[in-house]
């Protein structure tokens, strides 16, 4: 019951923000010239919502975040979801109702290492499954501050190992957003160092690649992005558990990137992480890694999660689906079957 009450309150809050943006528009230019009223309302609402979440204890913020409603649930209705566990780690399977090709996307959600779950990104997972024509396996790893590094990484690795028992690595693509993107890269670097099997590729949506948060875009986009640098630094400290958040094992931007599988990355031009993502791609390419980057004009952090409310979000997930299918093409025998 509490979840439904929270969902209704958040929906009404978003609609009020949308109406306020429409009322102000004749008198005030939007924060970004190309923003529609909807773009401005989403950014304003999310900025306020995340600011309130970060002011809460994590035990109160987590159910609040999970209660955010999906206003256009078309993708949810076209997929099946099943909760379960692999190697003792809670997971959620998402599969298109029309069936999927024999590939798997192992997804790691964001949330600053302290918040978020498979439920938080349920719409994104459904749209990803449909766009990539694949099964999606989402990992609910342990969160900080109760479980600092490397607990979350250990959980992601455990699920990866379990997934390999039934699916070859050439048919698995790792994917993650924000802090989840960080965990994906940390897993890839660990697998490479141990000379273990690597996935067919990885998709990184606005990944948090440097927990030190020192890039110029943290100042340039401070007034428009939905994230705040101070809150990010607090989350990084909680995740590091007293260690240095800038060390290469926690900040992949600072690691040796040679030997990674093909990567596809997305970032918003108006987000705090923009410069770090661009620097990461440059370093990966210099190390001989195939890395493709799409930067979407005027988009804020994790815009891919806006769903059917945003044309750009729909386009971004369509590109992700294409990348997944390029990384893990259907074997000819499976295609004939």
Catalytic residues: 178, 271, 301
Would you say 272 and 301 are in contact if contact means Cβ atoms under 8 Å apart? yes
Which of 174, 88, 126, 161 lies closest to 307, judged by CA? 126
- Distance separating alpha carbons of residues 73 and 282, to the nearest angstrom: 37
- Residue 185 Rama label (left phi>0; alpha psi -120 to 50; beta): alpha
Cα 111 from chain centroid? 8
List 90's β-bridge partners, or say none: 85
> CB-based contacts of 236: which residues, under 8 Å, 6+ apart?
113, 211, 212, 213, 245, 250
Burial 200-218 (b: 16+ CB within 10 A, else e): bbbbbbbbbbbbbbebebb
Strand order in the sheet with 79-86: 79-86, 89-96, 135-139, 104-108, 172-177, 201-205, 263-268, 291-296
Token pair belonging to 110: 């964001």
Which tokens is 124 given? 């994104």
Q: Which residues pair with 207 in a beta bridge?
A: none
Enumerate residues 6+ apart whose C-beta is below 8 A from 288: 258
Tokens coding 145 = 């501050």
């Amino acid at each position: 019951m509490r979840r439904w009450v929270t969902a209704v309150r958040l929906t009404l809050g978003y609609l009020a923000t949308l109406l306020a943006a429409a009322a102000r528009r004749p008198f005030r230019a939007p924060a970004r010239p190309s923003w529609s009223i909807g773009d401005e309302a989403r950014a304003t609402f999310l900025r306020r919502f995340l600011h309130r979440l970060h002011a809460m204890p994590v035990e109160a913020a987590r159910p609040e975040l999970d209660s955010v409603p999906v206003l256009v649930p078309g993708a949810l209705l076209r997929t099946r979801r099943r909760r379960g566990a692999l190697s003792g780690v809670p997971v959620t399977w998402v599969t298109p109702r029309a069936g999927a090709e024999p590939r798997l996307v192992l997804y790691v959600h964001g949330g600053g290492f302290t918040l978020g779950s498979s439920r938080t990104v349920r719409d994104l997972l459904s749209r990803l499954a449909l766009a990539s024509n694949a099964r999606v396996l989402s990992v609910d790893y342990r969160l900080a501050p109760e479980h600092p590094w490397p607990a979350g990484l250990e959980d992601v690795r455990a699920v990866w190992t379990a997934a390999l028992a039934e699916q070859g690595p050439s048919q698995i693509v790792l994917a993650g957003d924000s802090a989840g993107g960080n965990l994906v890269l940390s897993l890839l670097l660990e697998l490479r160092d141990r000379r273990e099997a690597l996935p067919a590729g990885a998709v990184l949506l606005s990944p948090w690649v440097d927990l030190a948060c020192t890039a110029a875009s943290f100042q340039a986009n401070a007034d428009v992005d939905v994230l705040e640098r101070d809150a990010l630094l607090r989350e990084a400290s909680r995740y590091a558990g007293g260690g240095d958040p800038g060390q290469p094992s926690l900040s992949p931007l600072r690691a040796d990137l040679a030997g990674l599988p093909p990567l596809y990355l997305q970032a918003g031009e108006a987000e705090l992480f923009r410069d770090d993502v661009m620097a990461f791609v440059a370093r990966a390419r210099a190390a001989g890694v195939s890395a493709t980057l799409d930067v979407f004009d005027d988009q804020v952090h994790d815009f891919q999660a806006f769903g059917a409310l945003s044309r750009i979000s729909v386009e971004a997930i369509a590109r992700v689906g294409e990348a997944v299918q390029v990384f893990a093409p259907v074997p000819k025998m499976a295609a004939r079957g």
